[in-house]
Structure 1
Amino acid sequence: MFDKIIDRKNSSCSKYDNLEQYFGKTDLDPFWVADMDFEIPPFLQEAIQKRAQHNVFGYGKQNKEIFEAIKNWMSSQHQWEINTSSISLCNGVVPAYAACIEAFSNIDDEIIVQTPVYFPLFQCIKANNRKILENPLKEDNGYYTMDLEHLKSIITPKTKMIALCSPHNPVGRVWDEKELEDLANICIENNITIISDEIHSDLIFKKFTPIASINEKIANITVTLNSPGKTFNIAGLNASYCITLNDELKNKLDEVIKQRVIGTINVFGLIAMQCAYENGTQWLESLRKYLESNIDFTIETLKNNTKIKVQKPEATYLLWLNFEKYNLSHQKIKEILLNDCKVALNDGLTFGKNGNSHFRFNVATSKNQLKKGLNKIISFNK
């Protein structure tokens, strides 16, 4: 089912139809935007098509079954028991993140990001007139860990939030419980709110721990952002949610969501989220196996045919490629990838300055498309 090649061109698809806008070229094979080239599961297709046949698309209703589906998914997938009253719906993880910035900090306050990291975090901080405080991850032969000593050294009275990416995009780490607890204890000591983006938490290859599930103290300073968008390839439906166990934090966040009018999800997003979480376990298991096979194949191919260094990710379908051994400038690497290899990858510098000589490669596509892209990247050597 994942080997099927689907022509996504001219379908109002950012990954394929925005190549000229972002790269200035259209003759590229796209391995950038973090969505998958796979069809959504058959049960999701059926649910959406059934609703489409109704032919009236008025405002959707947030049924209690949606909240139950989220609660049960957290329990079955991540052994995290929550109440439905802790869930707030939102029309996207990035809008929810922006709402958290407004709810839990003031203009000119500092927000910590652990670079290299998902670049919309920077955009949201700047757009909301807050200051970025970078806490670069430590890297050892492609494996990244948190630099908590550095973190403690940069905190000031103006530091109000930390944007935790868990699992981490783009380096693919699944933070273990000890790492998360040590980070959270620093935040507790310094009255820092944790906003944990856990959108990739289902696409894991080792045990994942939601940071708010560790203990009550950590839960009291944490807002968790999540969505079925990455897991089931329905990011375009803009269906997401926040989990906030502290009532005071939840009330503040809900007020901003209301003010920003971002708590309404379209009718197809509501249906898809409920259906995915009620029926998606078996399909997800198959997806993980296919993605891990693609990851292993990619790493082996690059290892045998290039000087590119890459660490196997513990989560996501995104590989963080390191071109340092070519001894070329970042700009030159970028030019070769675009003009000679004809592939579109995410520029590592957009994730932070420690993304120099790095590019993010999305392997969530059919084996044939992946092989085609890898053959193009291999030509980098020539």
Structure 2
Amino acid sequence: MQSLFNQITDRRSSLSVKWNKEAIASMCGNPEAIPFWVADMDFPVVPEVSEQARLLAEQAIYGYPYAPGQKGAFLRWVKVWHQMELSPNQVVLSQGVLNSIAILLDLLSEEQDEVIVPFPSYQPFVTMVNNLNRTLSPWPLSYDEQQHQFSLDWDQFEKLCQKAKILLFCSPHNPSGLVFSEEELTKLCRIAKKHEVTIISDEIHADLRYESFVSLLEVGKKTGCESIVCMAPSKTFNMAGEHYSVTLFNNQTLKQSYEKRLQQLFLTGNSTFATTLATTAYQSGESWLTELLAYLQDNLTYIEETLQNHVPEIICIRPKASFITLLDCSALIPLVEKDREAHPELYETKKSPGGGILSRFFGQRASVAFNDGTWFGGEEYRRFVRINFGTQRSNIEQAMERIISAVDTLKNDYRS
């Protein structure tokens, strides 16, 4: 199946936002840069999923779906992949993780209530809290400058819980790639329970773990902490555009309140295509995913070794899940700042309003598009860029060559 992941598809001719020139330019100022930003992969889906999509397209009738086996497919999946024993009455099918979280925040808190969000943070979490007129309570993760790894700051969390109503968690964490141990999740839940803080856990990257993964749903149940989990096939099987997710509950009263709100908003149904693709993926995707994870880890090792050997100024923070991670470019920042002083036209914010100094450097000087670290929490994270390595090795090799050349030029021009 390696040939499937090495297969190049021209996505510029599709509706892909990842490969859209205007979107790429908004990140880095260069519309021709190779995109390594938004979190979708460049791989074809599970062959059985592709076949079902083809059959459905050829039928040319896309009416309302009736698929009573959806929950069963998901329940079998989490039992096999995560060893989770769930019942159908814990499961609510939803139209997407973000709208599910937004509805839950609206249900479980009032305006001005404090919502804890770990930082660096997936930016839509911050936007969501602000849009709902809740009070954002940032929880910065600790960062080890020597080991180049993030970890949870427990003392800070305890303080924040004294005022907060909700913790909006992300497990595995985006963008750091952290996978939390059962011990860590138990401590998290006990502190939250002590202060009556409800945890909403976004576990959209859970299937893409490189080691054992424990869902907060299970730990919440054991500890008595109020916890709700959102999962989805979107990142796992590269079908994010189909907007299909699963929301999981331990508390039946909360589940019923959530279902009622979905009914009030007429958000209870998923599309025919989304339903077909998601159900098929859960039924047939295990071997595909196993090979995908091996391919991703090979890509990650290649990136790490290439940077270590040729650009030691850039540190790859090795994730424990998914196809995204952060690159620590602290050693490059002073040189990039000199380049900005010498060539301000390359770093104009109007050309890349969604970027920062590093994404502009890589976009302009290497023709590679990354999410800038500031996108995940402001200037405190300006030393980082996020790389999406869920793409063909040939794309990564080309990007690494360009980065090596750009950094060599930077050092030659500005290092005395």
Asked if these proteins are the same fold (TM beyond 0.5), I'd say yes
- Alignment partners' CA distance in 2, 1:331 and 1:39: 31
User: CA RMSD, aligned part only?
Assistant: 1.5
Match of 1:149 among 141, 144, 155: 155
Moved more, 139-148 or 217-226: 217-226
- Overall identity of the aligned pairs, in %: 30
1:380 matches 2:406: yes
Question: Offset at 1:156?
Answer: 3.5
- Does residue 233 (structure 1) correspond to residue 238 (structure 2)? The answer is yes
SS in structure 2 at match of 1:14: coil
Q: Do residues 207 (structure 1) and 176 (structure 2) align?
A: no
Note the alpha carbon deviations across 1:319-365, whole angstroms, 9 max, x for none.
20011012425944333212111111011111113322100000111
- Structure 1: gaps of 5 or more residues: none
Corresponding residue for residue 191 of structure 2: 186
8 Å CA contact retained: 2:30, 2:367? no
Helix, strand or coil at the partner of 2:196: coil
Q: Which residue of 1 aligns with 2:10?
A: 7
In structure 1, the partner of 2:367 is 342
Aligned with residue 141 of structure 2, among 130, 137, 140: 137
Q: Provide the aligned length of Structure 1 versus Structure 2.
A: 380
Which residue matches 1:361?
A: 387
The equivalent of 1:125 in structure 2 is 129
Match of 2:178 in 1: 173
Query: Which residue in the other structure is 2:89 paired with?
Result: 85
In structure 1, the residue matched to 2:342 is none
Which residue is equivalent to 1:289? Answer: 294
TM-score by length of 1: 0.96
CA offset digits 1:13-58 (Å, max 9, x no partner): 0000132455443211000010100011111011111112221112
What does the per-residue CA deviation read over 1:254-284, in whole Å, with 9 as the maximum and x for residues that have no partner?
2222233333211011011111111111111
Deviation at 1:220, TM superposition (A): 5.3
1:115-159 CA distance string (max 9 Å, x none): 0021110111111111110111111132111111111112344x1
Q: How far does residue 229 in structure 1 lie from its aligned partner after superposition?
A: 0.5
**Aligned amino acid, residue 176 of structure 2:** V
How far apart are residue 60 of structure 1 and its match? 2.1
Q: How far off its partner does 1:366 sit?
A: 0.7
Residue 192 of structure 1 deviates from its aligned partner by 0.9
- Shift of the 188–350 alpha-carbon distance from structure 1 to 2, 3 Å rule, reads same
For residues 220-369 of structure 1, what are the structure 2 equivalents within 5 Å? 221-306=226-311, 307-328=313-334, 329=337, 331-353=356-378, 354-369=380-395
Does the 8 A contact of 1:220 with 1:246 survive in 2? Answer: no
Which whole-Å CA distance do the structure 1 matches of 2:224 and 2:275 have between them? 26
1:114 corresponds, among 91, 100, 118, to 118
TM-score norm. by structure 2 comes to 0.88
Q: Residues 348 and 263 of structure 1: is their aligned pair in 2 closer, same or farther, counting only changes over 3 Å? A: farther
Contact 1:200 1:315 in 2 (8 A): yes
Mind listing any 5+ residue stretches in structure 2 that lack a counterpart?
Answer: 338-354, 410-416
Q: Higher Cα Rg: structure 1 or 2?
A: 2
One-letter amino acid of the structure 2 residue matched with residue 318 of structure 1: I
Q: Give the distance between the partners of 1:137 and 1:220, measured in 2 at CA.
A: 22
| Rounded Cα–Cα distance in structure 1 between residues aligned with 2:213 and 2:246 | 19
